[in-house]
Homo-oligomer: A and B are copies of this chain.
Amino acid sequence: MTDFDFLTDVVDSSKVDYGEGPREEHSADWASELIGAGVTPDAVVTPTSTEDVSRVLEACDSRGVPVTPYAAGTALEGHVVPVERGVSLDTTEMDSVVDVRPDDFQVDVQPGVIGTDVDDAVERHGLFYPPLPSSGGISTIGGMIATDAGGMQTVKYGKIGDWVVGLECVLADGSVVRCGGRAEKSSSGYNLKDMVVGSEGTLAVVTEATLRLKGIPDEIRGARALFPDIDSAADAVSDAVRSEVDVAKIELIDDVAARMANEYLGTDLPDTPMVFLEFHANHGVEREVEFAEAVFRQHDVDEFKTASRERMEDLWEIRSELGFAVRSYDPSLHPVQAGDVAVPISRYPEMVKEIKRLGDEYDVLVPVFGHAGDGNVHYAPMADPDDQDQYQRAVEVYERAVERALDLGGTATAEHGIGRGKRHYLEREHGAEAVDVMRRIKDALDPNGTLNPGKVLPDED
């Protein structure tokens, strides 16, 4: 049994917690009710500086103590839940906006800053941070970088990684590394920044990030479109993207998800598939709205209504709450996992249809929604955990949908990441040779396997 007193030798004792409550808390996250909780760490350390992180990692690494980074706990594949004991490294206290440089459209933040706090910090300069995920109001920037998160506006602006210019991070051995920089464009050396982005705390712990910002558009419009069936809705979205309608958000919500939203939020969405849209421009935004409507008319849209600013905010509130709505719909029905496939846009209608078909085939309730413009489908096969047969059928729907996405040239996870839950798809998606390269990189940067063990890479035989 390791003695964990060494922790208070390297950081102030106020930052180290051996209490059962905090330790239990750090053994679970949002995904735990879906894929199970993890083991309870021996200690929770809450660093307040890069030096703290460096000292803790160096001390743990030299003693063979695993370190699992933790932040808001909103990950959906068990990324932050320890599979080995050791230290849970909670970065939520490192939550300062360090420097805003509006003239360069850049802001430096610590990893524990909540997504929307970045927007709040730069709004008075007329700027915003475009790629925030739907959980932007509760998730941390560090967590978003760890998963290379995407969001509703990824269709126009790209993912988190596209809006990170530079990083400061700490390797397992405690060395502090700067990746990228402040120049918007560089071909200098290997791209370490994008290697760390999306590596889910298995290669390094991010201690500061330089984010790229964008001017708030002068014109913003919202719209809601209703379709007679899911096929028309999916075809309409695919066609809009292929026609390059300039949308900032284009979200599909099927009738099942809409029903769940109504139950959970007391809203009155109609019982039919629908698409929510948002348009950003500095001028001429109406042209794009009209263009989108014209494309949708080709696909049997029943109703296409622009939304007032207030009504639009309501729509996005509904969309952001969908994950909660799905979980709260029926106390006896749980989503078996949070589906997150993406396929090339021309295959998007086929992918959506297949998921609905699988639901029918297996007689499983499957709400479908997501960032349609990216070819990204979220789906959540529902089952009663006490009904083993139903549960197994729901799991099969989940897995067969991933298989189909991969067959269509897609990905098992568009934005949630691999974590613990999707490791078995890694080789299927990328091939054994690519996984071997990932493993070589992991071994090169973290030879003792200290950082977030049991995540991303499948166990070796």
A residues near B (Cβ < 8 Å) are: 101, 103-106, 147-150, 154, 159, 161-162, 171, 175-179, 181-192, 194-195, 197-199, 203, 214-215, 242, 244, 246, 282-284, 287, 342-346, 371, 374-376, 409-418, 422, 425-426, 429-431, 433-438, 440-445, 456
Contact = CB atoms under 8 A, between A and B. Distances in A.
A180 to B, nearest CB: 9
Copy count, this protein chain: 2
16 contacts: A147-B187, A149-B187, A176-B433, A177-B433, A178-B430, A178-B434, A182-B344, A183-B344, A183-B410, A184-B374, A187-B417, A187-B418, A188-B425, A189-B456, A195-B195, A215-B244
Contacts of A345: 103-105, 184
Nearest to A77: B187
Nearest to A412: B188
Contacts of A105: 242, 345
Contact of A444 (B150, B435, B444): B444
B189 A430 contact: yes
Given A171-B433, A175-B436, A195-B441, 5 more contacts: A104-B345, A183-B343, A187-B417, A189-B418, A440-B445
B346 A435 contact: no
Nearest to A126: B244
A190 B185 contact: no
A203 B178 CA distance: 21
Contact of A375 (B154, B159, B183, B433): B183
A195 B106 CA distance: 24
A426 B436 CA distance: 28
Contacts of A154: 185
A186 B103 contact: no
Contacts of A371: 185
Contacts of A197: 191
Contacts of A191: 148, 161, 194-195, 197-199
A314 B189 CA distance: 35
Q: A-B pairs with the 3 shortest C-beta distances?
A: A103-B346, A182-B409, A186-B411
A416 B283 contact: no
A24 to B, nearest CB: 28
Contact of A438 (B190, B431, B440): B190
Contacts of A150: 185, 187
Contacts of A176: 433
Contacts of A283: 284, 287
Nearest to A284: B284
Given A185-B150, A187-B416, A195 B198 contact: no
B375 A411 contact: no
A435 B108 CA distance: 22
Contacts of A374: 184-185
Contacts of A437: 171, 177, 192, 445
A103 B431 contact: no
A179 B244 contact: no
B287 A414 contact: no
Contacts of A192: 430, 434, 437-438
Contacts of A412: 188
Nearest to A340: B187
Given A433-B175, A434-B178, A342 B185 contact: yes
Given A191-B197, A346-B103, A411 B185 contact: yes
A433 B204 CA distance: 13
A101 B375 CA distance: 15
Most chain-B Cβ atoms within 10 A of its Cβ — which of A154, A159, A162, A410? A410
Contacts of A456: 189-190
A188 B430 contact: yes
B441 A190 contact: yes
B426 A189 contact: yes
Nearest to A179: B434
A101 B287 contact: no
